[in-house]
Structure 1
């Protein structure tokens, strides 16, 4: 996926300035896409289990991206107060999604936002071991106290049949 496509997929109006986390950021594609959507003065914590590498994309002026190697799935993983959390193709690696979401939600401000990118499928495979459809995602977050789910976009998957979706979730 190209950076312009990632920006278009997660494009959301009115994202608030502040500190955001991109959990499971990989090479940083969605960290940079988010950087193009946030107001100047924002910081993005780009967190991944793999060793930190420099971002292969340019960052807009006024946005700071800090890379960190860590495993967000561990119960002792700590985050600072956040305005938002992006999880692009990382939630499908988590078996206990309800506990993870409840734990991560504790780091969000009252008006905080999740942006989730996932596959619209129930078929598991080696790359998407625990898939979650948009309907199941909406219910998962509703049970954690998040009542607003907005589908931001969708696109065909390059690697598998079907679609990817992006959703913005808030209280």
Structure 2
């Protein structure tokens, strides 16, 4: 895992769009959380989206953001444009030592993503997760997502093999 301290100030947290200079660090963070922390049987090769983030996410009304502290990736989030003014929230990961409401990494990433979606006039944001990510369920629900049945998902929503729980947020534009 990362050698990171949780002793950082909000000013040290930076959210920016993904650039290829951070590709290796993004992959290491995501895979370590998936495999080591949650024991999911996933590989980098099985996640083609991570092998070409710009072409997969940074197109149409989608994007991919990274959270940086001291120029190290501590979190990620992506918005995949799935058409019809709908999007899939994907790759929401925060290093374990940077989690918690007091640090605000996850909330800042999510706010950035949802603000982008609203600016693109996205009507709905969907996400899939696993039953193991209990803290994630609480986090999404706290931030306005409601659990939905898999059958409600748009046909263009990319279901990952590990996804067993699904959420939706209907966007409100100002």
Report TM bin, short chain.
Answer: 0.3 to 0.5
TM-score (norm 2): 0.35
State TM-score, norm by structure 1: 0.36
Q: Which has the higher helix share?
A: 2
